[in-house]
């Protein structure tokens, strides 16, 4: 998903790391996958408890930053918090430490977020 906001002073990019549904309809991602909002909530919790590393284009050559802020947003969580939103998914704030990557964000060359994950695919 495209960055929703970038804080130049803090070098943090905010946006949807993944969108599971939009207006109640499952979203098919660029890899042809559909994520269950409840499963995405579990995955985001596991990621934040253990990893938090931000990588460039799912590259395993080391982190370029870290996920500082994380909010899995299911319909149930949104309702409990009084948030009106037509999406379910995972909102993050990523602190960019790598200078070259930060310059690419500032110039607009890098403008999207994506989760890199492994999962068991199930036919729908």
CA distances (Å), origin 118, targets 1, 77, 81, 82: 18, 25, 30, 32
In 3D space, the residue among 92, 102, 111 whose CA is nearest the CA of residue 15 turns out to be 92
91 has a pLDDT exceeding 70: yes
Q: Cα–Cα distance between 24 and 4 in angstroms, integer?
A: 21
Provide the pLDDT for residue 119.
56
* Model confidence band, residue 58 (pLDDT cutoffs 50, 70, 90): low
114 has a pLDDT exceeding 70: no
């Amino acid at each position: 998903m495209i960055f929703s906001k970038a804080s130049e002073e803090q070098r943090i990019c905010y946006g949807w790391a993944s969108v599971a549904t939009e207006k109640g309809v499952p979203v098919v991602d660029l890899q042809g996958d559909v994520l269950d909002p409840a499963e995405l909530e579990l995955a985001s919790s596991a990621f934040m408890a253990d990893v938090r590393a931000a990588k460039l284009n799912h590259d395993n050559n080391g982190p370029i930053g870290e996920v500082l802020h994380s909010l899995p947003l299911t319909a149930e969580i949104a309702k409990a918090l009084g948030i009106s939103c037509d999406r379910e998914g995972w909102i993050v704030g990523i602190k960019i430490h790598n200078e070259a990557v930060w310059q690419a964000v500032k110039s607009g060359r890098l403008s999207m977020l994506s989760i890199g994950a492994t999962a068991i695919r199930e036919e729908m």
